[in-house]
Amino acid sequence: MRFPALLTLTSLSTVVHASTNHPSSTLDTLATESQGFHLVRRGLKGDCTAAYIANKYSKYCKQNSSEADRYLFLTAATAKGTCKCRAPYKLQSKNCVPDCQNGFSINDTRTGCICRAGKVTNVDKTKCLTVCSGGSYPVGDGTCAKCPSPFSKCSSATVATACASGYLSAGQCVTPAQCPSGTWADKTGKACSPCADADAKSCSNGSIGTALSCNTKYLFNGTCAASASLPSGYYGDDSTHTARACDAGVATCTGTGAGNALSCQLQRLPALRQLCRLVAMPSGTFADKVAKACLPCADPDASSCTDGKVGSALACNTQYLSLGICVAAADIPDGYYPDDTTRTAKPCDTGVTKCTGPGDGNALACGSDAAGTPYFLTPDASCLTQCDWGTGGSLPSHTCVECDSAAGILNCDAQGARQCGYNSDGELTYLTPTHACELSTVNFPGYYPDDTTATFEPCDDGVETCVGLWDDQALSCGTRKDGTDLFFVASSDASEDASLGYCVVAADCPDGTTADIATHICMA
C-alpha cells in the first residue's frame, strides 16, 4: 500500500501543496520500537500513529518512510514510545504539522505555511502582516515592495506619504524652494505646510504673524492686511503688495509725495495740492491739550508718545519699543527680539523663549506653547516639538540630545526610548513599557518580547506572565480587568515546555482539579 509523501518544509513562508491521508489499523498501543523499525504487539489494541502504516501481512505497525523527515521516536525497552516532531514541525493531535510563525498560517491541508488572503508578506517575504510596514507599500499581489528613495513612507511607487529627505508636497518629496505658494518647509512634519495667513504667498512658519509676502493684500508686521485695514500713516503698495509709510505728518495717503495725502496728523490739508504743511509736534513731544503746548515725552528716546507718563511711548529713535517703553536691545525681555526696521521688540515664534529674529536658525532657547506643549532646541537653532531622528527632547533644558545608540535606542523623546534596535554588543533590544530598550531576558510582568515589533507587548487580559499570545503560551494567571479570576492549566502537549500552559475561568478547570485562588492554579 503506497501513500503520497509530504513535501519537506524549506521555508515557513513556502506554500506546500501536498497531503497525507493515513488509514489506521487495530494494533497494540503499548509497544516498543526495534532495530527493524516496527512495533510488536503487547496484548492491547490500538491504532498505528501517523508516522507508521499497517503491515498488510500482519497486525504490526511498520515505519512509514515517507514520514521519516517529520517524526522521531524515542523509546525504552519496556516503555511506551513518545512521539516528537522534527523541526520545522510541531506535534498536534498525534500528528506533525508545520510550525508556522511570523504571522503565517497552516494551509488547509495542514502540509505547509501560507499568508492568508487579506494579509501581505513583507519586503523580504519572511513575515506575514496585516498591512505593509513603514517604508514599504502593497504591490497588489499580496506582497510589499520597498518605497523608492527619497520616500520614507508611500502608498505606491510614485506617491509618497512621508519623506526621508526633502518635504512632502502632493505626494512628492521636494526641496524647500519647491514648496508651493502659500506653504512653508515644516522641519517638524517634513512637509510643505500651509501658512497661517490665507493670503500669504510665503511665510517663515505656520504661526500667525509670520507672512513674508502676500498675494492680493499688503504685508504689514507679518500679516496680510486689506488696504482699508492698514493703520494710520500707511498705504498699500500694489507693486510689492506691502504696506509703506506715508510721508511724515500724513495720517492717510495713496502714496508718497505731493498729491497723495488724504489727511494730516495735527496739520491742515491745503486745498488742491494735497500736501500736509508741517505744523505737527516735534519728535519726542506730545500735544498737551490742557497746556496748549508740545510737551516732552517721559522716555528720552521716544520719538512720539500719547502723553507725558512713563510707558506711553509710541515709537523710538535709537532703541526698541517694548510695552510703551524704549529699551536697549540687551534689555528686551525674553521671548522678544529687536526689529531694526520698526524699532520695536517683536515676539519670538511659538515655543521660542529667546531668539535673534523670526524663523528657523534664530532660536537661542526653547520652552512650551500656551497649551503646555514642549519645544526643543535643535543644533540648527530651531525650536521643534519633535527632534530629528536619532535625537530626543530633554527636559528641563528643552534641547535635542543624542539617543543612547549603545543601549540600542534608535529614536527617543522626552519620556525616553521610542524605537529600539541592536545595541553596541549586537544584541536585539526591545522597547519596554517604561520607555527603555532592554534585552528579551529582562522580566516585565504582563508583557512578552515581540520579535516582529522589537517591543514588549502586553499579554492577554488576565494573563500575568507569558511568552506570547498563542495558545499554551501563558506562564501564570491573575485577574481580568472586569474582576474575573483566571487559573493556570499546564499544557497537555508533551512537546511543549512544561512551564507553559493556558488560563481558564474556575468553571473550566480540568476534571480532577480545583481552582486555587491563592496561586491562581487549577490544583489536582
pLDDT at 31 over 70: no
Distance from first CA to last CA of the chain, Å, rounded? Answer: 46
Asked if residue 103 and residue 46 are part of one domain, the reply reads yes
Within-domain flag for 9: no
Q: How far is CA 385 from the centre of its chain?
A: 13
Concatenated DSSP letters of 362-379: -EEEE-B-TT--B-EE-T
CA 132/CA 120 separation, integer angstroms = 7
Asked if 84 and 94 count as a contact pair (C-beta separation under 8 A), the reply is no
The string of pLDDT tens digits covering residues 419-459 is: 998 999 999 999 999 999 999 888 888 899 998 889 999 99
Do the domain assignments include residue 275? Answer: no
The b-or-e profile of 370-384 (16+ CB within 10 A means b, else e) is: eeeebbbbbeeebbb
431 and 371 assigned to the same domain: no
pLDDT score recorded for residue 322: 94
**Cell numbers for 203:** 511665510
Number of domains the chain contains? 4
Grid coordinates belonging to 159: 506617491
Q: Is the pLDDT of residue 185 over 50?
A: yes
Query: What is the structure's pLDDT at 50?
Result: 54
CA dihedral 223, 351, 316, 297 (to 10 degrees): 110
Domain-embedded: residue 379: yes
Residue 243 placed within a domain? no
pLDDT tens-digit readout, 281-329: 788 988 877 766 778 999 999 999 999 999 999 999 999 999 999 999 9
Specify whether 478 is located in the same domain as 511: yes
441 and 467 inside one domain:
no
Query: What percent of the chain shows pLDDT beyond 90?
Result: 53
- Domain annotation covers residue 138: no
Domain that holds residue 393: 363-402
* CA separation for the pair 187, 101 (Å, rounded): 40
Residue 107 has pLDDT above 80, yes or no: yes
From 437, 458, 479, give the residue that closes a domain: 458
CA 316, 319, 320, 325 torsion-angle sign: negative
What residue type is assigned to position 413 of the chain? D
Residue 518 has pLDDT above 80, yes or no: yes
Q: Supply 450's cell numbers.
A: 515581540
Distance, in Å, from the CA atom of 204 to the CA atom of 363, rounded to the nearest integer, reads 13
The answer to whether the predicted template modeling score (pTM) of the entire model surpasses 0.85 is no
Query: Cis bond leading into 458, ω under 30°?
Result: no
Backbone φ and ψ for 351, nearest 5 degrees, come out as 85, -5
Q: Considering the chain, what percentage of its residues have pLDDT values greater than 70?
A: 79
| In-domain check, residue 1 | no
Structural contact between residues 309 and 325, judged by C-beta atoms closer than 8 angstroms = no
Residue 388 lies in a domain: yes
- C-alpha distance from residue 360 to each of 127, 175, 235, 381 (Å): 42, 16, 30, 7
Query: Which pLDDT belongs to residue 205?
Result: 92
Q: Are residues 426 and 496 in the same domain?
A: no
Give residue-wise pLDDT tens across range 349-361: 999 999 999 999 9
pLDDT band with cut points at 50, 70 and 90 for residue 29: very low
- pLDDT over 70 (residue 87): yes
- 87 in Cβ contact with 10 (< 8 Å): no
Q: Is residue 335 part of a domain?
A: no
Find, among 419, 389, 420, the residue nearest to 162 by Cα.
Answer: 389
**Same domain membership, residue 398 and residue 409:** no
Residues 428 and 507 in one domain: no
Among candidate residues 79, 114, 149, the one where a domain is terminated: 114
Q: Would you state the pLDDT for residue 292?
A: 64
Indicate the residue among 61, 93, 114 that finishes a domain: 114
| Average pLDDT estimate for 240-262 | 88
The pLDDT, as a whole number, for residue 388 is 85
Same domain, yes or no, for 108 and 35? yes
Decide: 393 and 387 in contact? Cβ < 8 Å: yes
Chain center to CA of 189: 11
Q: Which of 59, 56, 57, 64 is nearest to 42 (CA)?
A: 59
